[in-house]
Structure 1
Amino acid sequence: MTQRAALYRGELGRWVPWLGLATSLAAVFMQLLDATIVNVALPSIAVDLGASVSAQLLMVSVYTLSFACSLITAARLGDLLGRRRVFLTALAVFVVASLLCGLAQTPTALVVSRALQGLAAGSMSAQTFAIISGLFPKRAHPRVFGIYGATIGLATICGPLVGGLLIQWDLFGWGWRLIFFVNLPLGLAALVLGYFYLVDAKPDGVRQLDLGGVVLSAVGLFLLIFPLAEGRERGWPTSIVVMLLCSVPVLIAFVVYEWRLGRRGGDPVLRLELFTDRAFSLGAAIAFVFFGTLTSLIFTISLTLQFGFGFSPLRAGMMTLPWALGTGLAALASAAVYRRIGNLVLPSGMVLFAGSLVVLAAQLQHEGTDPRWSALAGPLFIGGAGLGLFVAPLQTAILATVRPENAGSVSGLLPTVQQVGSSIGLAVIGVVFFNLVATQSADAVQAERPALTAQLAEVGVPPGLIPRAEETFVRCASEQLGSTSPMKVPDECRSPVSGGAPLGAAQQQIADSAVVAARESTRSAAGEAFLQAERRILWIIAAVAAAIGLASLTLPRRNQLVDDRSVAAA
């Protein structure tokens, strides 16, 4: 008997699974936090490193891309080499990559380090389900995945808040670099804990690396996710559209290849027989739609608060804090709720979530573009509670009928389903959201004209020039808010004066005041346009949440657990 296996029979035996769970949850928290925290720091990174808009986009998308493309392959490597070994190796690489991100001196160095960080995060994530499933018997899964769900909710929603706090803290003058350095103590602690208490496990029997499946899955996911992540910001050029179209035949080829390999008695990375289980296939489909919806909602709310309303990252994070608290607390309580009503906890969670979004939309209409924290805290907390009651029991329902020998495949498949769902949902809702902003912008801009006229007259702009200034404001504001990137000021509208004789001091002061007035009016118009667009998005997502709740009624009322089987130490 190995020393680690002996831990289960010693005094520490009952604590070993929980210590292993703590290691897994620390990794989950870091990898999800780093998916969103960088968005807050992009303005600071752009100034410090001189990063172009394209480089800034890559700093965000390359992490998601490398994360998604590594999941299926890393899951198989866990089957082959042992999940503990792959997990701890990936965790060590993630810590090193975080250090490299924090030390980066050029945009290229940061992009490359982010890619390495994403590969390591995906490799960790691909082991998590299998490790947790092996640490605990099936009957303990509702409680365990309740804790897991709370971690996911907190990490997903807290990214902007943590990022804002760290940047404002500016410890040792590190600025944005602190968002990467914060991973070092947490990652090192998880490494030590995992080394001593994480029990290794891999399925019985000799497994092989399915090179054909590895290549096809990685290429197909790259062709799918890269265009979805970059297409809108780049204006959907032909090359991006072609890549997206090519992803379809490649992914079909991957599925066909895996099916044929399984029929020949091979060992495919994707076990298609998993989808013959009704609970698993329904649960995976629900997870696909749910995570696409959740990611899109977080994206649009963050944009509305920070750009539309002009909130700082810290204030925006504080506004969504009740959401994170509701998610965490309800996820912890979800196991107890499941024991009472079974999988009816899933539609119950979605009813709370959908209802909270409708109330939130009404509150936003009442509060306007400077909402009070107290006015939004209630519906956000209820919405978070609905998410918490849904996320953890859904994971349990999906995994209930999965046999231990298939745990590795599921551990890579489920995060891939969630990641692809998030990418597609973000692309679709993103298009809808920005089209709604453009639609609402015309009325919002026109509504600002009287206030701008009064401001221009107040700062001393000659009456004969006010109509021209108004026309310039309407043209520039409409062009900006009607574009695919309404956060960016059009180039031709950046300079207030072009040509003509130099202005005197008094005239220059009037011109500067006029520019400030125009910018304030643009900000007000943007706030109203984003407000109305976000309200409509909330209605749309509420309807999708209601549909998800109805779909979850098709799952078994109680999870039918397969026979538990111990996962032997390697």
Structure 2
Amino acid sequence: MSQIEVMPVERRRWFMFAILLVGAFLPPLDFFIVNVALPSIQEELGTSSSAEQLVISSYAALYAVTLITGGRLGDLYGRGRMFFLGLIGFAAASLICGLASSPWVLISGRALQGITAAVMAPQALASVQAIFPESEKPLALSLYGAVFGLASVIGQALGGILISLNLMGMGWRAIFLVNLPIALLVILFGIPALRETRARHASKLDLGGTALSMMTLGALIVPLIEGREAGWPLWSWLSIAAAPLLAWLFWQYETRLRLAGGAPLLDPAALRAPGLGRALLVALSFYSIGVFFLLFSMYLQSALHATALSAGLIFLPFGTGFLLGPLSTSQGRRLLGAYVNCAGMGLEVVGLLALTWLVLGTPTGVTPPSLLLAVILFVIGFRQGLAMPTLMRMVTGRVAPAYSGMIAGITSSTLQVSTSLSVALIGGIFYTLLGAHTDAAAITHAFTVSILCIAACLALGAGLSVTLARQPAPIPDASRVRPS
């Protein structure tokens, strides 16, 4: 295990953390914001349906497969350095997207966005273990979780607003170019203030492990994202079948490297921490709600004929709840102790069941009562946000600070895999039930069945959380990473 030097608590840790949180905010923002822009992009660039899918999936796939490497790079070469390199790259990729003159230039820019986002995103979560004392970690993780709620609040509505305003005739391009002033401000104020943290004895990046990890995740994620759109061709099934073999090869390679005294990308010693495997399974079930945004948007726009902007605004109660939930985690811990995560996920299940009841109890093609719908969406988002910081602590708190970047990347990658699995599997159930039908009744039926599937996944995660609450994470070494 890498050694770290004991140091006093960093005085500027909250300002440093605020800077790093930008790296956690921009990736989900760009995931949410682009959805409402696809019709405008198609109109101007003439993108095909498959190209539109690639605008989304090229970003999501490369983001997922690069996250573990991004976290490890922060451990080895400095979290601040990797954050700023990722941010600069993300801004450059956003500029490419904003100036794109063809679908393939846009797709290339989105792919670069995914890679650079994965370099900057894990650094905030890793820094929680590195710069905060134990007493402050719950609040830091709550703020980290709130960032995702803030991104969903802003992303769902901002895309439609920017396109409607058509600032300086930019249209949909503004959703990408808005990243540039954000990046510039963070660079100007952040570079002088951010002190470096890393594992003390940095070693070379495990290039073999990096390649095998990306191949393993790519073999799973790419066909899940692209397979349904392509009609599940043979290559997609062969790729999914190859994923377990590649995972086994990756594990064997990392184990041998560890025994030889090397520094593996994914250290097997860290993954043997008690309860870590179950904690990652909870993370895998946690973002099964990722498909909800796609399906609810389809229900609103196709069954209820809401506009893209109206649909985005209907999501605001969910996003507001997701924003406020993490900020209530400390109160939740005082009331529920280690059971906050399982309570949050369990009550989220109740919210999804209530949504199903509301939709089924409303005449087909009619919008459910606005106030009741808003309350239910707020509850679902609030409970999701309440559970998230505890989930992060449940995972990252089970390993030593020297592994912070690695486990942050693994956690973030697991959540991305969870989203991809939910889109592929639960989305597949939705489209199978829908078939060739496009009427409101068929869409409503497929939507409600899919919501019940999401609820079942979250109920499984809540059950696993109960077993973890009975096995608290060991208190990690309170040592500090030496600032440089």
Superposition deviation, residue 116 in structure 1: 1.0
Which shows bigger deviation, 424-433 or 204-213?
Answer: 204-213
Runs of 4+ in 1 over 3 A off after TM superposition: 556-560
2:200 & 2:174 partners in 1: Cα distance?
A: 43
| Structure 2: unaligned runs, 5 residues or longer | 1-7
Deviations 1:33-59 (A, max 9, x none): 112321211111111011122221111
Residue 165 of structure 2 is aligned to residue 251 of structure 1: no
Q: CA deviation at 1:133?
A: 2.3
CA contact (8 A) 1:138 1:400 kept: no
Q: CA deviation at 1:158?
A: 4.5
2:475 is aligned with 1:532: no
Percent of counterpart pairs with the same letter? 35
Show the counterpart of 2:377.
380
TM-score (normalizing by structure 2): 0.93
Q: Secondary structure at the residue paired with 2:266?
A: coil
What is the aligned partner in structure 2 of residue 340 from structure 1? 335
Higher relative contact order (CA 8 A, sep 6+): 2
Corresponding residue for residue 462 of structure 2: 549
Which of the numbers 31, 36, 40 marks the counterpart of 1:35? 31
Aligned equivalents of 2:297, 2:42: Cα separation in 1: 19
CA distance in 2 between partners of 1:119 and 1:135 (Å): 26
The 5 A counterparts of 1:302-313 are 302-313=297-308
Match for residue 358 of structure 1 among 353, 374, 383: 353
Which position in structure 1 is the counterpart of 2:179? 183
Query: Where does 1:45-84 land on structure 2 (aligned, <5 Å)?
Result: 45-84=41-80
1:569 counterpart residue number: 483
In structure 1, C-alpha distance between the alignment counterparts of 2:346 and 2:48, rounded to whole Å: 43
Q: Deviations over 1:453-478 (max 9, x none)?
A: xxxxxxxxxxxxxxxxxxxxxxxxxx
1:44 matched residue in structure 2: 40
1:113 aligns with 2:109: yes
What is the DSSP-based 3-state SS (H/G/I as helix, E as strand, rest coil) of the residue aligned with 2:469? coil
Q: Could you tell me which amino acid in structure 2 is paired with residue 161 of structure 1?
A: A
Change over 3 Å in CA distance of 1:199–1:120 after alignment to 2: same
Equivalence for 2:3: none
- Supply the distance in 1 between the matched residues of 2:476 and 2:137 (Cα, whole angstroms): 12
Amino acid paired to 1:318: L
CA contact (8 A) 1:334 1:392 kept: yes
Distance 2:268 2:228 in 1: 33
Q: Is the 8 A contact 2:70 2:122 kept in 1?
A: yes
Whether the aligned pair in 1 keeps the contact of 2:321 and 2:379 (CA below 8 Å) is yes
**Residue identity in the other structure for 1:560:** P
Distance across 1 between alignment mates of 2:350 and 2:314: 19
Q: Distance in 2 between matches of 1:351 and 1:247?
A: 31
SS across alignment from 1:560: coil
Measure how far apart 1:354 and its partner are: 0.9
Match of 2:403 in 1: 406
Contact residue 162 and residue 175 of structure 2 kept, 8 A: yes
> Residues 146 and 324 of structure 2 are in contact (CA less than 8 Å); yes or no, is this contact kept in structure 1?
yes
Whether 1:422 aligns to 2:419 is yes
Give the whole-Å Cα distance in 2 for the aligned partners of 1:135 and 1:313.
Answer: 42
| 2:317 counterpart letter in structure 1 | P
Equivalent-residue separation in structure 2 for 1:298 and 1:259 (angstroms) = 39
2:274 maps to 1:278:
yes
Q: Which residue of 2 aligns with 1:195?
A: 191
Gaps of 5+ in 1: 1-7, 439-479, 482-521
Paired AA for residue 431 in structure 1 = G
Structure whose CA Rg is larger: 1
Which residue of 2 is the match for residue 503 of structure 1? none
**CA–CA distance in structure 2, aligned partners of residues 30 and 404 of structure 1:** 25
User: 2:128 matched to which residue of 1?
Assistant: 132
Change (3 A) 1:370 1:178: farther
Q: CA deviation at 1:358?
A: 1.1
Distance (Å, rounded) in 1 between the aligned partners of 2:467 and 2:148: 25
Deviations 1:464-500 (A, max 9, x none): xxxxxxxxxxxxxxxx42xxxxxxxxxxxxxxxxxxx
2:432 is the alignment partner of 1:435:
yes
The CA distance in 2 between the partners of 1:85 and 1:153, in whole Å, is: 26
SS at match of 2:474: coil
TM-score by length of 1: 0.80
- In the TM superposition, residue 199 of structure 1 has moved relative to its aligned partner by 1.7
- Report how far residue 126 of structure 1 moved: 3.0
Q: 1:105 to 1:361 in 2, by over 3 A?
A: same
Amino acid at match of 2:33: I
| Residue matched to 1:295 | 290
User: Does the Cα contact within 8 Å between 1:129 and 1:410 map onto a contact in 2?
Assistant: no
